Amino acid sequence: NAGVTQTPKFRILKIGQSMTLQCTQDMNHNYMYWYRQDPGMGLKLIYYSVGAGITDKGEVPNGYNVSRSTTEDFPLRLELAAPSQTSVYFCASSSPYEQYFGPGTRLTVT
Amino acid sequence: AQSVTQPDIHITVSEGASLELRCNYSYGATPYLFWYVQSPGQGLQLLLKYFSGDTLVQGIKGFEAEFKRSQSSFNLRKPSVHWSDAAEYFCAVGRVTEYGNKLVFGAGTILRVKS
């Protein structure tokens, strides 16, 4: 039972480069989320989706984009990487009662 | 606006000692409350949740939490800590729908266990 999977696990980007963080869930959940985690700051919601074709901004959406073409996949796009985007990124999906988290992607922008 | 405060950034306890992690929330309606644990290099795992009813809720790994509406608190407790409990703990509050939930997380408390 895979749950929520994320790729890659680690990535180093140069300033101005772009990349897509992949997220897939196999639990048929409607709700999916992208968070970033910075030391001492907890998790901040970047974007979320309540179903295929429906996305909305969270608390810290600037510099990111998302799409949701299928129930299973919810990729996060960074268009012009900046050092402020150095963080650990978590994808999650939820039933009504619990969010299930992926293992995270550690991104460094230099 | 919803918010969650975890006043303690770090806590160190001896193995076998009791533990209480504090959580205070601000929420405009009946809160749904959660505690998650994150081991180093891992994602978050749900420990327990409160939706309604009995204000003392039991979770996995021997943890429990008590909801106190008058104090806007949802503190996490464990009577005897094990070395494997060393991790970061997050309190969260939010709303729940029939399709999913949307949560606001606290900044976390790092638990260190000394032998």
Full 3-state SS string of chain B = CCEEECCCCEEEEECCCCEEECCEEECCCCCEEEEEEECCCCCEEEEEEECCCCCEEECHHHCEEEEEHHHCEEEEEECCCCHHHCEEEEEEEEEECCCCEEEEECCCEEEEEEC
pLDDT at B40: 87
Q: Does B43 contact A42 at a Cβ distance shorter than 8 Å?
A: no
A85: pLDDT strictly greater than 80: yes
A86: pLDDT strictly greater than 90: yes
pLDDT at A93: 95
B6-35 mean pLDDT:
93
pLDDT at B68: 94
Q: How far apart are the first and last CA of chain B?
A: 41
pLDDT at A1: 66
Give the C-alpha distances (Å, rounded to integers) separating A110 from A35, A76, A87, B31: 21, 19, 12, 41
B63 vs A13: CA distance, rounded Å: 40
pLDDT at B29: 75
B7: pLDDT strictly greater than 70: yes
Average pLDDT of chain A is: 94
State which amino acid sits at residue A93.
S
B71-81 mean pLDDT:
97
Q: Helix, strand, or coil here: A84?
A: helix
> Is some CB atom of chain B closer than 8 A to the CB atom of A104?
yes
The better pLDDT of the pair B98, B81 is held by B81
Q: In the structure encoding, which two tokens stand for residue A48, read together?
A: 């979320």
Count Cβ–Cβ pairs < 8 Å, chain A vs chain B.
63
B30: pLDDT strictly greater than 80: no
Q: In the structure encoding, which two tokens stand for residue B92, read together?
A: 């969260």
Query: Which of A25, A98, A106 would best serve as a mutation to test chain B binding (most B beta carbons within 10 A)?
Result: A98
